[in-house]
């Protein structure tokens, strides 16, 4: 399957002052779905920093269009590492509880940091039935390979709960 597992919802753009040509969520969602179909992407993961409510419209638009869409969130651990936490559709209604377990209760913060470290988050994710991906793994901001060092980095990198990692930017 061709996948795009870190697709941000429309609200993310406004909260982080990202420029966009889209005036509303419906147009943005339609454009994302069309771009995915044009690129042959069959599976998406919709993530935002410890938020899921504002992703529901894009998840539903993708599913209606025949794409498989994982709901989820991007976690920022207390040691500064970013993880994508993706869930099967049967978990859509309980994701806010999982965010609470990460110690995040205030969604007014632009990019909250959780109270769990990387290994604690991965252990919780296993119990939740989530798939965890180390986001932008080599990036200065939040990348596992940049934020952690020595044995701590080795322990997270080799954890059986860490199923994948993502590199930021073009493949070359």
| pLDDT score of 37 | 97
Backbone dihedral angles phi then psi of residue 48, each to the nearest 5 degrees: -145, 160
- Inform me whether the pLDDT recorded for 171 exceeds 90: no
What integer pLDDT is reported at residue 164 of this predicted model?
A: 94
pLDDT at 19 over 90: no
pLDDT in tens, 73-126: 999 999 999 999 999 999 999 999 999 999 998 877 778 899 999 999 999 999
Report how far residue 110's alpha carbon sits from residue 4's, in angstroms, rounded to the nearest whole number: 23
pLDDT digits (tens, 9 = 90+) for 28-76: 999 999 999 999 999 999 999 899 999 999 999 999 999 999 999 999 9
Which is more confident, 12 or 63? 63
Of 78, 74, 117, the residue nearest 99 (C-alpha): 74
Provide mean pLDDT across the span 3-22: 87
């Amino acid at each position: 399957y061709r996948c795009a597992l870190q697709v941000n919802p429309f609200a993310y753009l406004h909260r982080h002052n990202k420029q966009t040509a889209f005036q509303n969520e419906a147009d943005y969602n339609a454009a994302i779905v069309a771009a995915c179909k044009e690129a042959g992407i069959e599976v998406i993961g919709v993530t935002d920093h410890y938020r899921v409510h504002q992703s529901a419209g894009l998840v539903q638009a993708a599913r209606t269009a025949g794409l498989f869409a994982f709901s989820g969130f991007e976690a920022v651990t207390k040691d500064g590492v970013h993880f994508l936490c993706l869930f099967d559709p049967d978990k859509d209604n309980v994701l806010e509880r999982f965010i609470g377990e990460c110690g995040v209760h205030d969604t007014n913060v632009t990019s909250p940091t959780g109270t769990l470290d990387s290994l604690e988050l991965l252990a919780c994710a296993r119990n939740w039935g989530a798939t965890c991906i180390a986001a932008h793994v080599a990036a200065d901001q939040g990348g596992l390979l940049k934020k952690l060092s020595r044995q701590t980095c080795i322990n997270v990198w080799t954890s059986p709960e860490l199923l994948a990692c993502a590199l930021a930017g073009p493949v070359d």
